[in-house]
Amino acid sequence: MNNTTVFDNNSIWIFEQIYEPLFTVTNNGKGVRPYLATGYTMSSDKKTYTITLRHGIKFSNGKPMTSADVKFSIDQNRKATKGWAYLDSAISSVDAPSPDTVVIHLKFPWAPLLADLSIFANGIVPNNYDGQTENAFYQHPIGTGPFKWDYWHKGSALKLVRNPYYWQKGKPYLNSVTWTDVPNDNTRQLQLKGGQAQIDQTPAWSTVSQLQSTPGVHMFLFNSTQTNYMSFNEKVKPFQDVHVRRAISLAINRDALVKAVLFGHGKAANSLFPPQVPYYDPNTPGYQFNLAQAKAQMAQSSVPHGFTTTLLLPAGNSDYLTIGTILQSELKPLGITLKIQQLDPNTANTDQQNLKYDMTLTLWTMDIPDPDELATFAVDPKSGAQSFFTTYDNPTVVKDTHAAEQVTDPAKRQQLYNAVQTGAAQDAFMAFLYYSPYPYATTTNVHGFYVTPLGNMHMEDVWLSK
Amino acid sequence: MSFVARRLLQLVPVAVGVTIIVFFMIHLIPGDPARTILGIHATPKAIAELHREWGLNRPLISQYWLFLDRLLHGNLGQSLIYGVSASSLILQRLPATLWLIVYATVLAIVISVPLAMLAASRRNGLRDQIVRAVPLFGLGMPPFWVGFLLIYAFAIHWRIFPVSGYGVGIGGHLVSMFLPSLTVAIALAPVVIRSLRASMLSVLGADYITTARSKGVPGRRLFIKHVLRNAVIPAITVLGINIGFLIGGTVIIENVFAIPGVGQLMIQSIFQRDFPVVQGVTLVFAVLVVLINLLTDVAYATLDPRVRFDR
């Protein structure tokens, strides 16, 4: 439950009910709104942000939240050596000049600051962990959120109960929320139908249409920032050849993938960025299915007669296996023989990160309402992720990405990110496959349930009718 | 030394052998628990730091000695994923798995004994044919499929039982664990029925049964006191062996019914490369299998006074 180091989505969405940040994502996922803060001012050199805190906020133990808690929380995230500290790397220091004011000093102008502050890793915890050690605190964490800790049966169920000191009066409406770990898609659906659960998180795509017509069930497809890609390892021949990458991208029928994998509930991807991300460019010329052009690119490549290659997949992922099977037939006209190698998920993940693969499937969901996190991760070979583990390196694209970080004028940022998206699309360093929504099924007595494009859910707004 | 004490001592070399095999096997599988925790944001520095923290940067043999040393002090190590002792995780999950095993065994016996008696009482008759044929469906159908059928019927359609879970309190466990236990019992029963029927038919042909009949012992008393008591011994051996397999098979049932048991913990831990927990669960499974074999032998000796294992 350490919000500064955890990466799995389920843990994040749970502890977002416990800790809250100064700013939170808007419902359309494209901006931020004040949350524990009420507003901010920015200095003329854009390097100092003075943030005003909301009055009357208390932690779930009844103690008031002050700027000392905010300073401590942000400083803890900045120090986390194996976590999200990189998002706060532009911050040089945090001051707490008065109990309801926090001042953030930056090393340079930093456009994504408010978006970075909205991330769960910058959620506010008590100063000095309320006198506990870090490890002890995170066994029973305390925050300002609508719910507080009850129990966690590790790997099986976690329960939060209502925070009586919650700052939004009258909320939360629910007395408790329990997350249970039910790995089997069918069992989750049956729990919903049997009334044992009220929300099924990510039902199988094959069941979405059926759930849409099931009495007593409400099937939601929330806009998301999830994008699926196919990565090319440019350390492996012939993927350093842009014509090969373009040819493969052009040979992929994305509508067929959407139909086969998502059962029609998705859209072909045209850009590195998904549509719900600020500065997404709908005109990005991401390669779409065109077999003639694919063959023309192949003819210009270093392997005009084709080659044999391997697609690395995590075992047990039926969606990925479907994509792989479709790709095998779609790449045949180019003379490409595609072998599928399935490894257990942990091994596949490790091999991808160690660049021991030819091609692989991957995906991304946004953690902040700003493209900086994705852009840096995906196109900067020095980012630590080696350009999304592809080793792609286009100095112009990298330069534009970093320039956009320090420009606060939205029009200028749009221009720069348009160039990043176009450059990345033209280089085809990954094949952009499809955008998919977040599927959630609830019983019809659940009201107020909403999931933002970043996956956040405000459970304080949810209520049950009889 | 008594038979039971000797058998319990045999646990030691079994446990040591299991620890060696599991320890080195799980480390041979590629995959890094640090990457599981850190996800795609893993940097080499962060990974190295976690390895240092967990002792995974040490030579394998030295990691094994450390594990064995802790084990001798009753310490199974700490879960790399959850940061708590592996033994606390296992102990938290063990009751659910034990409930499943015991409840399923009881239900298997409740199903098997009357049906076997019914079949044996009319050899080759219609009842016998039906009892021999119908349970084979239970043997042939995959357990997860049987489970889903039972859920649809009794949890969704008639709403008698919950869909899944372990329940709270003894009453809650009895209700929540009925369908998963029945699923397992349906798979266990055919083998027990056939074994029990065969041994009953063998006993029914014995001289002492003929003597009892001619002395006027009523049919029901004859069956229960004389036939069943003698016929059940081989069936107990069959049941004991199948319960041993069942321990490993809890994984599927716990997955279908979302039971927070040791089987589910095992699968999660393997995928997450949570080495200490995998090692701990495997040890627990090995001990359980040995104990069940021991219980089978003790039951054998209890039911048949002629059987003695002590020298």
Radius of gyration of chain B (CA): 24
Name every chain B residue with its beta carbon within 8 A of the beta carbon of A362: 40
Check residue A321 and give its pLDDT: 96
Name every chain B residue with its beta carbon within 8 A of the beta carbon of A186: 148, 256
CA distance linking residue B258 with residue B29, whole number of Å: 27
- Distance from the Cα of B124 to chain A's closest Cα (Å) equals 41
| DSSP-assigned letter for residue A87 | G
Nearest to A182 among B84, B152, B258 (CB): B258
Task: Please report, for residues A31, A264, A362, A364, the alpha-carbon distance to residue A221 in angstroms, rounded to integers and kept in the order given.
Answer: 21, 12, 21, 18
Check residue A415 and give its pLDDT: 97
> Chain B: residue nearest A389 by CA?
B40
CA distance linking residue B287 with residue B265, whole number of Å: 17
pTM of the predicted model as reported, rounded to 2 decimal places:
0.85
Residue pointed to by tokens 């940040």? A21
A47-84 pLDDT tens trace: 999 999 999 999 999 999 999 999 999 999 998 766 78
Residue pointed to by tokens 């004991």? B240
Contact (CB<8Å) A7/B37: yes
> Chain B: residue nearest A84 by CA?
B41
Per DSSP, the three-state class of A16 is coil
Task: Please report, for residues A106, A214, B149, B176, B222, the alpha-carbon distance to residue B154 in angstroms, rounded to integers and kept in the order given.
Answer: 62, 19, 9, 11, 37
> Chain A: residue nearest B89 by CA?
A154
Strands A336-343 and A307-314: parallel
Contact (CB<8Å) A184/B89: no
User: What single string gives the DSSP state of each residue in B109-165?
Assistant: HHHHHHHHHHHHHTTTSHHHHHHHHTHHHHHHS-HHHHHHHHHIIIIIIS--S-SS-
Given the cut 0.95, state whether the ipTM is greater than it: no
Q: Which residues of A197-221 are buried (b: 16+ CB within 10 A; e: fewer)?
A: bbbbbebbbebbeebeebeebbbbe
Contact (CB<8Å) B164/A191: yes
Nearest to A82 among B46, B155, B258 (CB): B46
| DSSP-assigned letter for residue A7 | -
- Which of B296, B300, B128, B310 is closest to B230 using CA atoms? B300
- Residue ranges in chain B modelled with pLDDT below 50: 311
HEC profile for B74-125? CCCCECCCCCCEHHHHHHHHHHHHHHHHHHHHHHHHHHHHHHHHHHHHCCCC
CA distance linking residue A248 with residue A252, whole number of Å: 7
Nearest to A347 among B30, B255, B260 (CB): B30
| DSSP-assigned letter for residue B224 | I
Nearest to A182 among B49, B159, B164 (CB): B164
| DSSP-assigned letter for residue A457 | B
Residues B77 and B70 sit within 8 Å (Cβ to Cβ):
yes
- Distance from the Cα of B62 to chain A's closest Cα (Å) equals 24
Question: Tokens representing B162?
Answer: 């919950």
Residues 150-169 of A with CB under 8 A from B: 153-157
Question: Chain A to chain B, count of Cβ pairs less than 8 Å apart?
Answer: 116
> What is the mean pLDDT of each successive set of 10 residues along chain A, which is 466 residues long?
75 92 95 96 96 97 97 92 81 96 96 95 95 91 96 89 97 96 89 92 93 95 97 97 98 97 96 96 96 98 97 93 97 97 87 94 94 94 90 97 94 97 98 97 97 95 95
CA distance linking residue B178 with residue B100, whole number of Å: 9
Q: Given CB atoms, is A210 within the 8 Å cutoff of chain B? A: no
Name every chain A residue with its beta carbon within 8 A of the beta carbon of B255: 183-184, 187
Q: Given CB atoms, is A2 within the 8 Å cutoff of chain B? A: no
- Distance from the Cα of B256 to chain A's closest Cα (Å) equals 6
